[in-house]
Amino acid sequence: MMKRWALLAAAALLLAGCGGGTSKFHIVAGSEEKTFEPIVKQFCEDQGVECTIDYKGSLDIGLMLAGGEAPDVDAVWPASSLWLDMYDTHRRVKDLKSVASSPVILGVRMSKARTLGWIGRPVKMDDILKAVNDGQLAFLMTSATQSNSGASAYLTMLAAAFGTPDRLDPRALDDPAAQAKVKALLKGVSRGSGSSGWLAELYLAGAKAGHPYDAMWNYEAVLKETNDSLRQNGGELLYAVYPADGVSYADAPLGYVDHGQDKSAKDFFDKLQQHMLSAEIQQKIADLGRRTALGMAKPAPAEKDWNFDPARLIPSIALPEPKVIARALTLYQEALRKPSLTALCLDFSGSMSGDGETQLKAAINTLFNPAQASQNLIQWTPADRILILPFDSHVRTVVQGDGSVASQERLNQAVAAEEADDGTDMYDCAERALKEMKPYLDTNQYLPAIVIMTDGKSDAHEGFDDAWRAEGHFVPIFGVTFGDADATDLDALAELTRSRVFDGRANLTEAFRSVRGYN
């Protein structure tokens, strides 16, 4: 009898080995790859596998791989292999292959490009710098330390400023003249973001609201998607400016993450990767405006009315080794980026008593800890301006400071001294924040944002929409939810101010870090 059961068990294992396979597969991807989700999900469905795709910023993906333990994901698909080169020091990502590529270029509102005289002629980074210096151009751009498109635009600026547009020379990082040029260029940033996909949504929201932005640094393919939406809705198109100095490309690499899974997970990954690189799918990818390897697919048709041409050969800048790029990103965060003006409205109402209060104070402590902040490339500088507004049913106090170490310590102590009590009125805090920020806003020297952290629904507060519009600066108001927060009010504020809400319930510290990528 025992022998019979042993034989049956062996047969079952043999059958499982021959016909079994993974039932679930988890991919972490950059927002740039969201366009490919229908292709991936269809393949997964055909294979009978439940695929989950989570979208994270480039730095988030890098930090996830840099940790002490391998992340519980099966594959990563960042915008660029640049971030894996910098952060995957444990070499956890295997069999990395580029699925598509796209250069990072500047899309300029057609009427603005015409006014600048850029239609139909080569445009260099010096031309863009002149337009910014003359007050004729402002642009959207993702954070260079949090998102690949922002990093690509910034590294291109740095190479051009040093006079080596074909490569980023490490000497550029120590050249005062190059630094001054890049700092002047970055004064043109009118809104920031931690996500290239969300940046395109922001541009479309501005156009829909009748307050269009001048321009946007983003991927050639994302600009095509943006213009497709603008064309469909009768909006003004963006003119594609391919900087004549050179550009940086994203290579959309798809790689397997080995964390001890069953062999079936690797087998499925191989099939998925082969599918994405097949002639049929590569043609679909090309039709979406992405570039593919030479000879793999026919490029999407050129659209001359806005200068889009994915078959055009554009000089690419060669990037240095990872440690040099890491130093360049630190230089951006600590010296060259446009200073931020941040008002933190922190909910200390009675419902925050206990764990809520403890976790909020811990998150703020991390935010104002220079060593921890620098690990995540969100460190403050003395040029930044910070306002702390603890609130309940009203604003308790306003504590102002800057990004110096001493000031950060003082701001952290001010938060630590607060205790939870009373009701909740986030609108009162937001309105007070706008009033306190106004002297700084009038200088147009800062990238402003209000951040509201709350665990509850706010008391009614009429007239805030008018107060926000009256300021004339269109300051974004970001929300961070906590506990059992009703996000209705925060969602309404995000829609009004063209911002977004971050979920802080799982990790409040990470949510605050994400907000910093937008400011």
Asked if 501 and 480 count as a contact pair (C-beta separation under 8 A), the reply is: yes
Residue type, 199: L
> What is the tens place of the pLDDT at every residue in 446-467?
999 999 998 877 776 667 788 7
Is 218 strand, coil or helix? strand
Name the one residue in this structure whose structure tokens are 């000497």: 171
Alpha carbon distances (Å) from 414 to 98, 401, 408, 431: 49, 11, 10, 21
pLDDT of 352? 85
pLDDT of 232? 96
Q: Which residues of the chain does CATH 3.40.190.10 include?
A: 22-101+251-287, 102-250+304-330
Name the one residue in this structure whose structure tokens are 């990004």: 403
HSE at residue 332, side-chain half, CA atoms within 13 A, is 26
Rg, Å, the chain Cα set: 24
Alpha-carbon distance of 446 to 171, in angstroms, equals 28
Please state whether beta strands 477-481 and 447-454 pair in parallel, antiparallel, or not at all (unpaired).
parallel
Fold of 22-101+251-287: D-Maltodextrin-Binding Protein; domain 2 (3.40.190)
pLDDT of 330? 94
Phi and psi at residue 428, in whole multiples of 5°? -60, -40
Burial (CB count <10 Å: 0-12, 13-18, 19+), residue 258:
middle
What is the CATH code for 339-516? 3.40.50.410
Rounded to the nearest 10 degrees, what angle do helices 125-133 and 176-186 cross at? 60
Burial 299-334 (b: 16+ CB within 10 A, else e): ebeebeebbbbbeeebeebebbebeebeebbebbbb
* Residue 246 CB neighbour total at 10 angstroms: 22
pLDDT of 472? 63
pLDDT of 9? 38
Asked if 110 and 236 count as a contact pair (C-beta separation under 8 A), the reply is: yes
> What is the tens place of the pLDDT at every residue in 206-224?
999 888 999 999 999 999 9
Asked if 185 and 338 count as a contact pair (C-beta separation under 8 A), the reply is: no
Provide the total of helices (H) and of strands (E) in the chain, helices listed first. Answer: 20, 17
Asked if 499 and 476 count as a contact pair (C-beta separation under 8 A), the reply is: yes
DSSP-derived secondary structure letter, 295 = T
Alpha-carbon distance of 341 to 155, in angstroms, equals 24
Question: For 102-250+304-330, which CATH superfamily applies?
Answer: Periplasmic binding protein-like II (3.40.190.10)
Element (H, E) at 91: none
Q: Which residues of the chain does CATH 3.40.50.410 include?
A: 339-516
* Mean pLDDT for back-to-back runs of 10 residues, the chain (519 residues): 40 39 89 93 96 90 88 95 92 95 97 98 97 97 94 96 91 96 97 92 93 96 96 96 94 94 94 97 95 91 97 90 94 96 94 87 90 87 96 94 96 94 89 93 92 81 76 84 80 90 83 85
